[in-house]
Amino acid sequence: MRGLFDYPKKAHFGRMVAKGKIYDRAKPSRKIQENFVTQIAKITWAYKLAPETINLTARPGVQEIEIFELMLKGDDLDHNILKSIDKAIVHPIIFHVIKGQQIKVMATYKRPSEADSHKWVIGEMYLASDWMPLDADKQPLPIALDMANLYERLLREILPIDAREDEELLNQIERFEKILSKENEQKRLESRIDKEKQFNRKVEVNAKLRMLASDIQKLKGVE
């Protein structure tokens, strides 16, 4: 199952995380705090992937990778909740979001700032796997050279497009964001053409749709 891994027992952490600790560190707005209360039943720091727990060398920028489990109360999840937790914890995080008997994996690309290595850049978009059964089979951890390489491998697992040859992770993510943007524009134009009554304008919209479809296919292609 894509994104689900069999983490070593030695890496198990299993500690509850108080929402108040997240509020103290991340300073989320009152609305986001309300969403924490209404949407999240429990936060568990499930695993700590580190040199001493998985025998991989740390590199500047990725000393550890944390696995957090979020138990939902219902169907909703404000992504600002994930961002608040990412702000509160200094290491990269992979989220396991649990809803009833289903689970999905979510994460954003979190990396040290080039301007200030003590600060982190947190991506705007959260990548997500499909929903899977909670008892789905798990994969062995990917073979990796070091902690940073492992983090990239974990993120690429939940990216729905394949990497191009020698494509850096950030470039792959940006390409995926462009695809999503163009697909949203495609849906908007498809909705518009259904309502358009003038023939000339329908022709114009159809031309734009063909161009968008071509752009999307090029962006999805593996070169």
Domain range annotation of the chain: 9-158, 173-220
pLDDT digits (tens, 9 = 90+) for 54-83: 999 998 789 999 999 999 999 999 999 999
Q: Among 101, 46, 100, which Cα is nearest to 68's?
A: 46
Alpha helices in the chain (DSSP H): 19-26, 30-39, 51-54, 79-88, 147-157, 169-195, 199-220
pLDDT digits (tens, 9 = 90+) for 123-144: 989 999 999 999 999 999 999 9
Paired with 122 in beta bridges are: 110
Distance CA 199, CA 186 (A): 19
* pTM value surpassing 0.85: yes
Which phi and psi (to 5°) does residue 184 adopt?
A: -65, -40
Helix axes 19-26, 79-88, angle to 10 degrees: 70
